[in-house]
């Protein structure tokens, strides 16, 4: 078996299955992950095959889920916990930020916290409030955590394997509106490192840097720009902590222009960090200021307005035009 096409959600399911199979210390924990297979069916069938001891339906308590996962990790397990939706991670934020992130350092490096926290995140599915948010910057800001997000099934499969093997806590943001998008998964490939960015489309005039759900939007924008004779490079960052600044720098020094795109609010977001670093690293290569496209400094709006809030083709291309106009 080499490459097969599958949906992103299915790829994560397969990846979890592989990990459960390979290592008896791997555990899946969360609300509704068992019989129901999770509200997005990402853990579908796993409890049936691995039992209630390995795929654990938890009480409805996020702080409890993460707090006990920390204890299990201290005891040698490798818990992979599911937070049902982005907006529900906050009851667990205390455990993640004050405990999970800092314990390794406090223990002089003597203990490891191989905990993966899976969070379906982002908008575009017409949900009610607290079901569409992109809180990745809040986690990337905290030292001790690693933060990643795949944009396609192939990456999702491998990145989940790597996250589970990581001895550091990994916050694994799953782009929920891409769960049903299919792409190739090659289980025999040699995957690229977890925190390495990847050029998903080559170009010469400008770099679009994105991750998770926005990679597809940027690819579509690049395809549209091509018709107007503009050659855009698209970079899938894949990791928000650490960020592969070398890859961004290399691309920018080729194209001389950079637009960072994410769903999260622009203010103090991932794009702000990239803009600052790239300005420091590549000031003399830049033909235009680094621009950012993202959410506003306002609560995530009700579903009927989310298309206005979320970056779409037009907003990305508008930023491209502004950059090229310098």
Active site residues: 131
- Contact code string over 200-239 relative to other proteins, x by CB under 8 A: ----------------------------------------
d(CA 299, CA 295): 9
| Cβ nearer to other proteins, comparing 51 with 193 | 51
Query: Least distance to other proteins from the beta carbon of 131, Å?
Result: 8
- Contact code string over 71-90 relative to other proteins, x by CB under 8 A: ----------------xx-x
Binding site partner of 309, from ligand TPP, other proteins, none, Cβ cut-off 5-8 A by kind: other proteins
Query: Least distance to other proteins from the beta carbon of 218, Å?
Result: 18
Query: Least distance to other proteins from the beta carbon of 297, Å?
Result: 5
Binding site partner of 76, from other proteins, ligand TPP, none, Cβ cut-off 5-8 A by kind: none
β-strand partners of 293: 261
d(CA 147, CA 124): 21
- C-beta atoms surrounding 222 within 10 Å: 24
8-37: contacts with other proteins (CB under 8 A): 31-32, 34-37
Give Cα 137 to chain centroid, integer Å: 11
What is the binding site for ligand TPP (CB under 6 A)? 31, 60, 62, 84, 88, 91
DSSP state of 41: -
Paired tokens of 175: 């782009």
Query: Least distance to other proteins from the beta carbon of 24, Å?
Result: 12
48-67: contacts with other proteins (CB under 8 A): 52-53, 57-61, 63-64
| Cβ nearer to ligand TPP, comparing 86 with 233 | 86
Binding site partner of 287, from other proteins, ligand TPP, none, Cβ cut-off 5-8 A by kind: none
263 three-state secondary structure: strand
Query: Least distance to ligand TPP from the beta carbon of 114, Å?
Result: 24
* Pair 57, 31: CB distance under 8 Å: yes
- Give the relative orientation of helices 153-165 and 8-22 as an angle to the nearest 10 degrees: 30
d(CA 207, CA 258): 5
Find, among 222, 236, 238, 184, the residue nearest to 10 by Cα: 184
- Nearest residue (beta carbon) to ligand TPP: 88
Within 125-237, strands assigned E span 146-148, 170-175, 182-186, 198-201, 206-210, 232-236
Tell me which H or E stretch contains 324.
helix 313-324
Interacting residues toward other proteins by CB under 8 A: 31-32, 34-37, 39, 52-53, 57-61, 63-64, 87-88, 90-91, 126-131, 267, 296-299, 301-305, 308-309, 315, 318
């Amino acid at each position: 078996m080499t490459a097969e096409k599958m949906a992103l959600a299915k790829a994560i399911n397969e990846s979890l299955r592989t990990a459960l199979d390979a290592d008896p210390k791997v555990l899946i924990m969360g609300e509704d992950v068992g019989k129901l297979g999770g509200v997005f069916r990402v853990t579908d069938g796993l409890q049936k095959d691995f039992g209630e001891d390995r795929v654990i339906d938890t009480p409805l308590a996020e702080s409890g889920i993460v707090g006990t996962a920390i204890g299990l990790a201290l005891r040698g397990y490798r818990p992979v916990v599911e937070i049902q939706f982005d907006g529900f991670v906050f009851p667990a934020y205390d455990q993640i930020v004050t405990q999970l992130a800092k314990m390794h350092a406090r223990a002089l490096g003597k203990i490891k916290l191989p905990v993966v926290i899976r969070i379906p995140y982002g908008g575009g599915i017409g949900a009610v409030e607290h079901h569409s948010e992109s809180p990745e910057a809040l986690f990337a800001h905290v030292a001790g955590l690693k933060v990643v997000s795949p944009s396609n099934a192939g990456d999702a499969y491998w990145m989940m394997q790597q996250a589970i093997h990581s001895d550091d806590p990994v916050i694994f943001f799953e782009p929920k509106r891409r769960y049903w998008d299919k792409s190739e998964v090659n289980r025999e490939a040699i995957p690229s490192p977890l925190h390495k960015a990847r050029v998903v489309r080559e170009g010469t005039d400008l770099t679009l840097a994105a991750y998770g759900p926005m990679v597809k939007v940027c690819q579509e924008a690049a395809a549209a720009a091509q018709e107007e004779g503009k050659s855009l490079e698209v970079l899938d960052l894949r990791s928000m902590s650490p960020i592969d600044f070398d890859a961004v720098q290399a691309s920018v020094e080729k194209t001389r222009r950079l637009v960072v795109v994410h769903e999260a609010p622009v203010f103090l977001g991932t794009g702000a960090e990239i803009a600052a670093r790239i300005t420091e690293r590549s000031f003399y290569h830049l033909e235009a200021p680094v621009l950012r496209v993202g959410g506003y400094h306002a609560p995530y709006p009700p579903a009927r307005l989310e298309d206005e809030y979320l970056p779409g083709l037009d907003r990305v291309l508008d930023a491209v035009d502004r950059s090229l106009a310098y």
